[in-house]
Amino acid sequence: MLHDVKAGDELPRFVRRTGFENWNRYAAVNDEFVPIHMDDAAGRAAGYPGAFGMGNLQWAYLHSMLRDWLDGEGRIRRIACQFRNPNMQGQVVTARGVVESVSASDGGTAVALRVWTEDQDGTVLAPGTAEVWLPTA
């Protein structure tokens, strides 16, 4: 239950196997048809092993993880991440989060979180932070 949240709690993970299909759908919604995300030769020309996923898609996965966890309660106040490693085709990307602190705020509870995406080998792709607000139970 969200009203029992405490420091150290881990959020349920949000997992996606990624590749051209995911990137193409994301590009269509955001009008982001950039060659490095659609063409292996363009990705290699940019210094990567091939095409790679959009950084903002990892941000979206973090956002989805938080929305799923909140399940209609409370709201996301802020979320930020830094793109440190590329999301390559065929990787399994997992959005994760851990509660860092819980405090009273604005008639409810502010929850500070450490969030990140990682690949199937545990390599962190995008570390970040988030804060959500929960109504008083």
Provide φ and ψ at 58, rounded to 5°: -65, -40
Rounded to two decimals, what is the model's pTM?
A: 0.93
State how many domains the chain has. Answer: 1
| CATH number of the domain that residue 92 is part of | 3.10.129.10
For 24-33, the pLDDT digits (tens) are: 899 999 888 8
Amino acid at 19: G
| Cα–Cα distance measured from residue 61 to residue 94, given in angstroms and rounded to the nearest whole number | 8
Better-predicted residue by pLDDT, 32 or 78: 78
Q: Cα–chain-centroid distance for residue 76?
A: 13
For 117-134, the pLDDT digits (tens) are: 999 999 999 999 999 999
Q: Which residues constitute the domain of residue 62? A: 2-135
